[in-house]
């Protein structure tokens, strides 16, 4: 790790999609980092534990390309992405803190949500993190849950957003994300390819906005989705698709 990123303020948690709840954590962490004159970092497990333990695909709100861009735009200066394998999963919570947070990162403080769990069988919690912080000289900042103030007042969560996307309720997903749901798609002369790890709406006809390299706007257009295969007019290359709504409720 670069020396200038030692003693970072570190965000802990699963930040898939960087939704409005996550952004509240990032805002708090950014303020603490600014006051302390420290860089802002985040821990992202790779691969996602759901993929490691169950072999699941097609569930991430943001694929790796989109996720890294969102984190950079949010002011994250370092992404620490340790390999999540059987050995990592078997680490006791105390070992995770000692080896990664203290030993490798040398953090000055961590920022997380009240329900954060870590270590073997998720036995570590915020209370243990605070105890180890006192023993190892780093502060622990806990930020409460973020609720859907423009909707039903319920807690904003990645699982809730996944449900909205899977059922085609893209307006709800957009409200909870604070931006349109987006995917990265590769278009060659013969085939289209979405990130296999990323969730998609159900088959249907959608109004989308396309962006090319460096965010170049390619305009709005209709997209027909069938079994993760899109039918849409776009030039060859890698594009970002912003999903706005199902067209007149059409389903295939």
Banded model confidence at residue 128, pLDDT cuts 50, 70, 90: very high
- Provide the pairing of β-strand 109-113 with 9-11: parallel
Is residue 66 a contact partner of residue 184, using CB atoms and an 8 Å limit? yes
pLDDT given for residue 125 in this prediction = 96
Topology (CATH) of 3-143: Rossmann fold (3.40.50)
Query: Model confidence over 12-47: pLDDT tens digits?
Result: 988 999 999 999 999 999 999 999 999 999 999 988
pLDDT given for residue 150 in this prediction = 73
Alpha-carbon distance values, 187 to 202, 232, 234 (Å): 20, 10, 8
pLDDT given for residue 252 in this prediction = 52
Query: Model confidence over 190-239: pLDDT tens digits?
Result: 778 898 999 999 999 999 999 987 778 889 999 999 988 888 888 888 89
Residue intervals of the chain classified under CATH 2.40.30 are 158-251
Topology (CATH) of 158-251: Elongation Factor Tu (Ef-tu); domain 3 (2.40.30)
Instruction: Please give the residue that has the higher pLDDT: either 146 or 208.
Output: 208
Residue intervals of the chain classified under CATH 3.40.50.620 are 3-143
- Which residue matches tokens 């003693």? 7
């Amino acid at each position: 790790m670069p020396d200038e990123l030692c003693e970072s303020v570190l965000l802990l948690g699963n930040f898939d999609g960087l939704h409005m709840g996550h952004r509240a954590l990032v805002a708090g962490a950014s303020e603490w980092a600014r006051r302390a004159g420290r860089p802002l970092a985040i821990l992202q497990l790779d691969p996602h534990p759901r993929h490691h333990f169950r072999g699941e695909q097609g569930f991430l709100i943001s694929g790796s390309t989109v996720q890294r861009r969102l984190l950079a735009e949010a002011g994250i200066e370092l992404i620490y992405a340790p390999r999540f394998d059987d050995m990592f999963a078997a680490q006791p919570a105390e070992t995770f803190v000692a080896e990664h947070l203290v030993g490798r990162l040398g953090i000055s403080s961590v920022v997380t949500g009240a329900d954060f769990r870590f270590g073997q069988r998720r036995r570590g919690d915020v209370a243990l993190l605070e105890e180890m912080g006192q023993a190892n000289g780093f502060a622990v900042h806990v930020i409460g849950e973020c609720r859907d103030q423009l909707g039903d007042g319920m807690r904003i969560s990645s699982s809730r957003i996944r449900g909205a996307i899977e059922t085609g309720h893209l307006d709800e997903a957009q409200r909870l994300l604070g931006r349109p749901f987006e995917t990265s798609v590769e278009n060659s002369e013969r085939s289209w390819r979405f990130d296999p790890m990323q969730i998609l709406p159900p088959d249907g006809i959608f109004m989308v906005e396309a962006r090319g390299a460096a965010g170049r706007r390619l305009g709005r257009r209709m997209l027909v989705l069938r079994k993760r295969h899109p039918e849409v007019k776009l030039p060859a290359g890698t594009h970002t698709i912003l999903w706005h709504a199902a067209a007149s409720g059409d389903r295939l």
